[in-house]
Structure 1
Amino acid sequence: MMDPRTSAQDVMRCDLCETAIVQMHCDTCFVNLCKACVGEHISTDECEDHKVVKFQSKKSTPLYPGCTSHDKERCEMYCDQCHIPVCITCVASDQHLGHKILKIMQVLEEMKEKITKEKNELNETIYPAYQDIVSDVQNRISQLEKKYGDLLTVITKHGEDWHREIDKLVQKLKSEVEEMKTTQLHTLQKHLDEVNKKISDINDEINSMDVALDSNDMSKVFSRMPNVDEYKILPQKILPCLPKFTPGRIQGEELCKLFGTLSSISVRSEEHGYSIKKTQKSPEAASSPVIKQLLDEPHIVTTIHTGYENLYNVACLSDEEIWTCGNNSTIKLFSINQGSLLKSVRTKSGNWPTDLAVTNSGDLVYTDYRDRTVNIVENEEIQTVIRLQNWKPRGVCSTSSGDLLVTMISDDHKQSKVVHYSGSTETQTIQFDDQGQPLYSSVYYIKYISENRNLDICVADCGVKAVVVVNQAGKLRFRYTGHTPTPKNKPFNPQGITTDSQSHILTADKNNDCVHIIDQDGQFLRYIDCRLRSPWGLLLDTNDNLFISQHRNKIVKKIKYQQ
């Protein structure tokens, strides 16, 4: 049998006798009692005012605080001016004369209500916000690991390229040495052959002289006159001059510059980078995204004048700042609320940026059609992350995973595709449907791109007057070709494209001066008009405020279209 004093599975026992089952509780002393021990407990001198209740009703008797000014007095009142509990004697004294005195139970209930509200706020908003921060930081750690891995891969590949070039150079020099050696050996061999020929001729002369000396025939002696002078002139000495190899000086800093350098790192902090999200009180609402209704009458919140002759696209840095690009090499950052210019960045090549986006970490990305590059701006330094051959980049967007999606067209304008990049590594190409037919037109015009919340890839293809949507695997889901009637009864001409928190797809219709809203399955919902003029680029901030760049009049409009 288990010891009732030590078993955690046994029923609760009296704190005094430690054997009988608990039936009563002293709310004053916080002691569990059996009925037999109640009398013994209340006879103790530890407390004069024992509040013994049934165990099920424990904590029902309020435990008033002791007065700090009067011994053995309990504070049943509260001074609202001094913000302290007071006893009856305190109230009767001059110390709180004229002060507002409340019943302490009233103050207690108000404080409990306040604590309950604060507890609910902690549970419903603040705690989830910190959980989101943990998730965000863990995601950034994961992305950082991946990006550093990509960086190491790039450096390793560059090193391998250098090794290949060095091997080629070494082989070329060795081949040149072999050619030089062959040339000089041939010269020396020819000289050796000539000397050996002379030696053979001298031997013949000596033999001929020996015959004349041994003969008694005077005619042979007189006919054989010595010709030694011919051989006294010795051949020239051939001294081959060996080539010299002068090694290039390997200096660490210069070699590092030639090979490539790393930019400095920084950790940027934003004081208001995180925000507490308002949640619904019901459990169902807390576990699912907030449902937003479309406004019957969208309205303009603010306008921003950019100064471009022709304004193209916009990208959201934060809920307070947006990047813009137009028909020159300068990308501008504007304050949304003030409408003021905060910063300008000039493209690396001096060309117009074709499209721009902002990564999950807040870095600016832009495509350079003429330079065939995709570039990232980090800490005001521009790095080329993708350089294409035989293709030219057009539209770009950053995915929820931190990767890039790039639309591009071939140099001969006969092919078009979407390429998924992780860092600078190509991970997926989307070009044809299941029947082998091109998904996208090959016309020159830019194809803007966006990733939906369900990971569908949405492309505004003005070449075929359609929004082309494929799933994450690159399989065609649908083509949206417009809705009739249109505001101006002109052909559908999609330009900019974006998606909101409800998985709606929004695309700018330049011909009809409006924005189409369709659901994630391609069903038309409604138009946004708001006196737009040639709308082009689109973006949404975290609160689903819509920003529209107007091509001709240099203005970005901020529009509220959801409740």
Structure 2
Amino acid sequence: MDPRRSAQDVLRCQLCDTPVPPLYCGICHIHLCKACVGDHLLDESSEHKVVPFDKRGLTTKCQKHTTKVCELYCEECDTSICATCVSSEHKGHQFTEILKYFENQKEAIQKDLEELKISINPKYQEIVSRISVQKADLSNNSQKLTSAINKHGEDMHREVDIIIKSLKSNIDEIDSKQLAVLNKQEDEIKRTISEIVQCTTDLEKLLNSSDINLVTAYKSRNTEFRKLPPKLKVSLPSFSPQKINKEQLYEQFGSLSSFFINIEAHDNTMDAPGADTSASYKPLIDEPRIVKDINTGYGKQNQLRSVSCLSDEHIWTSGYGSIMRLYNLQGELMKSVKSKSGTWPRDIAVTQNGDLVYTDYEDRSINMVKNTEMQTLIKLQGWKPRNVCCTSSDDLLVVMNSNDGRKDKVVRYSGSMEKQTIELNDKGQPLYSSYEFKYIKENKNLDICVADYTAGAVVVVNQAGKLRFTFTSSPSSTKTPFKPRGIATDSQSRILVADWDNNRIHIIDKDGKFLRLIDNCNLQHPWGLCVDARDNLFVAEYTRRKIKKIKYCN
């Protein structure tokens, strides 16, 4: 075996075999000595990028123009590009020098790693510890209740045996429901912790990597981890014994108080350590612009209504037909799903796990499409579901009409279990108009925002269902009264509302203050809205049957 070609031999110039060559061509991926660089550069069949050997990972070829070197990074398209790309498909975009972007990413990775280790992971561990204490309290209280019921039951002898069994069963049911909720959150938090640990490991590897493709492709998840899970406040039931009256045994024996689990947002949602909280603020830009204009396959008799983001690259849509469609941003149809009953869905939403949820008004059901399987989550009686959204805690908020069309309400479900009903204000008056559609979205501050078409208003209540404010239109004059349709919220807790009749979008802040209009993007009958993880707005145009992706903030 030639010793120069053996695994133990040092690196050599790939043109003349000089040992330990100090240079490297990042385009041709060959080692070079100083004497051979000139000959190598004479080859004009491709572009060359000769760098010191220890900088060999800092060059990459352009995917579009394979003979060119990537010298810039397109922030809008999130990809490395060469100079030729600038004047072609990336014309008018914002760029950063690729080495500068590389260094910025390294700094961001270092900060994320420190935050995961020092702040985020310990906070999650603390929450898990609190859940363990709550579970112990739940068990202890249940034992006390059982003892009290047994003691009181001895005084009532055989006549109360059936009541005792019934109440014990109620305790078990309460335990089961509360424990299920606690276990669910505990499992979710532990899963998140596992992801944080894995992310920490991955970031440590990235910090030691000089592969520019891996480093520039890095996407921080710290914003996702920074938002802590909601608090669970478990209300423990109590037992109230009554004096024995054999003719009214069941009523006099006593009952368990009702229980509830109140979900509260953490008042200490974490910001990046040592950073100004305004660092993550995304201000509105002066001139919103269309980034993508996506044609869909909806026909003239199947106007487009709803849109919901599955990811930054894929969107679910629905219209007046029974088929719900998943598109990528190039307008390619990726998947089609037909409603279970064959009628058109009134609204669609995507869960935290990426499953599609839709409401079937005629069938009175809320359904989930999980992979290729379809299941009915909820079947209503006396009410018909209209619009739906998925919350940050993976609950469903459903707007529904009574059978006679005289009442509307919002109901929160955890799975198929009803947790909350929002219908009346503090004066006992209806919060929402009757009948007609009402698009709904949970805001980042956990407010519940409803675009009430008939009332011509956006009605916002807090997490407990208490009215915060009602928005009825912008200060500017309009030819047609404000009749809101689709609604969305972004990372800044701003609320975006489709003004269908006036062909524009209203943007208001979390307290109902009008901020601005999006009225320069040639919208035509905007209906459904959604916002992706990067705060890009997607608008479903009803009559054109198109989806517009709009950049409206930095």
Select which of 518, 541, 550 maps to 2:532: 541
| Deviation string, structure 1 residues 347-401 (Cα, Å, up to 9, x no partner) | 0100101000000000000000000000000011110001000100011000000
Say whether 1:368 aligns with 2:360.
yes
278 and 424 in structure 1: CA distance in 2 versus 1, 3 angstrom threshold: closer
Question: Helix, strand or coil: the match of 1:401?
Answer: coil
- Structure 1 residues 369-408: aligned runs within 5 Å: 369-408=361-400
Shift of 1:82: 3.9
CA distance in 2, matches of 1:317, 1:350: 23
Letter in 1 for 2:551: K
**1:124 alignment counterpart:** 111
Which residue of the partner structure matches residue 347 of structure 2?
Answer: 355
Taking structure 1 as reference, are residues 384 and 482 closer, same or farther at Cα in structure 2, changes over 3 Å only?
same
Query: For the pair shown, which has the larger CA radius of gyration, 1 or 2?
Result: 1
Please give the alpha-carbon distance, in whole angstroms, between the structure 1 residues aligned to 2:306 and 2:411: 20
Deviation at 1:296, TM superposition (A): 1.0
Q: Given the alignment of the two structures, is residue 325 of structure 1 paired with residue 318 of structure 2, yes or no?
A: yes
Which residue of the other structure, out of 264, 286, 293, is the alignment partner of 1:296? 286
Q: Does 1:276 align with 2:268?
A: no
Q: 1:464 aligns with which of 455, 459, 462?
A: 455
**Counterparts of residues 406-417 of structure 1 (less than 5 Å):** 406-417=398-409
Partner of 2:466: 475
Q: One-letter code of the match for 1:518? A: I
Equivalent position SS for 1:395: strand
**CA deviation vs aligned residue, 1:461-515 (integer Å, no higher than 9, x gap):** 01110000000000000000002324x4210010000100111000000111100
Residue 449 and residue 99 in structure 1: after superposition, are their counterparts in 2 closer, same or farther (change >3 A)? same
Separation (CA, whole Å) in 1 of partners of 2:399 and 2:272: 42
The size of the alignment, in residue pairs, is 338
Partner of residue 46, structure 1: none
Deviation digits for residues 506-559 of structure 1, max 9, x if unmatched?
000011110000000001011002111111000000000000001111011000
> Does the aligned pair in 1 maintain the 2:109–2:220 contact within 8 Å?
no
In structure 2, how many angstroms separate the alpha carbons of the residues matched to 1:109 and 1:357?
Answer: 47
Tell me how far apart the structure 1 counterparts of residues 117 and 272 of structure 2 sit (CA, whole Å).
20
CA–CA distance in 1 between the matches of 2:546 and 2:103?
48
Q: Quote the Cα distance in structure 2 between the aligned partners of 1:410 and 1:122.
A: 52
Q: Which residue of 1 aligns with 2:446?
A: 455
With structure 1 as the length reference, what TM-score do the two structures score? 0.54
CA distance in structure 2 between the aligned counterparts of 1:118 and 1:507, rounded to whole angstroms: 35
Match of 1:400, SS state, is coil
| Preserved contact between residue 129 and residue 277 of structure 1 (Cα < 8 Å) | no
Taking the aligned partners of 2:359 and 2:120, their CA distance within structure 1 comes to: 31
Question: Taking structure 1 as reference, are residues 342 and 498 closer, same or farther at Cα in structure 2, changes over 3 Å only?
Answer: same
Amino acid at match of 1:81: P
Q: Is the 8 A contact 2:22 2:34 kept in 1?
A: no
Return closer, same or farther for 1:389/1:109 CA change in 2, 3 Å cut-off.
closer
Residue 276 of structure 1: CA displacement? Answer: 1.9
The AA in structure 2 aligned to 1:276 is S
> Matches of 1:497 and 1:351 in 2, distance apart?
23
Structure 2 distance, partners of 1:510, 1:305, is 19
1:555 aligns with 2:546: yes
Answering whether residue 482 of structure 2 is matched by residue 492 of structure 1, we say: yes
Give the unaligned 5+ runs of structure 2: 1-9, 11-18, 25-32, 38-51, 58-98, 130-190, 196-201, 203-213, 224-270
Distance 2:365 2:119 in 1: 35
Distance in 1 of aligned mates of 2:512 and 2:374:
38
Paired with 2:325 and 2:449, the residues of 1 have a C-alpha distance of: 26
CA–CA separation in structure 2 for the residues paired with 1:472 and 1:345: 33
Instruction: Please tell me the residue identity of whatever aligns with 1:403.
Output: D
Q: How does 1:46-445 map to 2 (within 5 A)?
A: 81-82=21-22, 120-125=107-112, 275-276=219-220, 284-285=274-275, 290-308=280-298, 309-336=302-329, 338-443=330-435, 445=436
| TM-score when normalising by structure 2 | 0.55
Partner residue in 2 for 1:525: 515
Deviation at 1:282, TM superposition (A): 8.9
Alpha-carbon distance in 1 for matches of 2:54, 2:428: 74
Kindly indicate whether the alpha-carbon contact (under 8 Å) linking 1:319 and 1:541 is maintained by their aligned counterparts in 2: yes
RMSD: 4.1
Contact 1:507 1:515 in 2 (8 A): yes
SS state of the match for residue 332, structure 1? strand
Asked whether the equivalents of residues 498 and 505 of structure 2 are also in contact (C-alpha less than 8 Å), the reply is yes
> 1:2-51: CA deviations, max 9, x gaps?
xxxxxxxxxxxxxxxxxxxxxxxxxxxxxxxxxxxxxxxxxxxxxxxxxx
Residues 1:476 and 1:560: Cα distance change in structure 2 (over 3 Å) = same
Contact 1:129 1:275 in 2 (8 A): no
Whole-angstrom CA distance in 1 between matches of 2:283 and 2:108? 26
- Gap change, CA 1:118 and 1:360, over 3 Å in 2: closer
Quick one: distance in 1 between partners of 2:122 and 2:355? 20
Contact 1:372–1:391 (8 Å) recurs in 2: yes
The letter of the residue matching 2:526 is: P
- SS of 2:280 mapped into structure 1: coil
Q: Distance in 1 between matches of 2:22 and 2:356?
A: 56
Q: Residue type of the partner of 2:304?
A: L
1:540/1:137 Cα in 2 relative to 1: closer, same or farther (>3 Å)? farther
Gaps of 5+ in 1: 1-68, 70-78, 85-95, 101-105, 143-266
Report the Cα offset of residue 122 of structure 1.
3.8
Task: Determine the C-alpha separation between the residues in 2 that align with 1:316 and 1:132.
Answer: 30
Q: Counterparts of 1:514 and 1:461 in 2: how far apart (Å)?
A: 17
Amino acid at match of 2:284: L
What residue is the counterpart of 2:499 in the other structure?
509
Distance 1:362 1:390, change over 3 A: same
Task: Summarize the Cα distance change of 1:136–1:421 in structure 2 as closer, same or farther, 3 Å threshold.
Answer: farther
Look up the SS of the partner of 1:343 in the other structure. Answer: strand
The verdict on how the C-alpha distance between 1:122 and 1:299 changes in structure 2, with shifts beyond 3 A counting, is closer
SS at match of 1:539: strand
Mapped to 1, the partners of 2:370 and 2:426 lie a distance apart of 39
Q: Which letter maps to 2:425?
A: D
1:277: Cα distance to partner?
5.5
CA contact (8 A) 2:500 2:527 kept: yes
1:216-272 Cα offsets, whole Å, 9 max, x none, are xxxxxxxxxxxxxxxxxxxxxxxxxxxxxxxxxxxxxxxxxxxxxxxxxxx9x9x99
Q: What is the deviation of 1:307?
A: 2.6
- Aligned-partner Cα distance in 1 for 2:422–2:103: 54
Instruction: Give the aligned residue type for 1:400.
Output: S
Structure 1 Cα separation of the partners of residues 412 and 123 of structure 2: 23
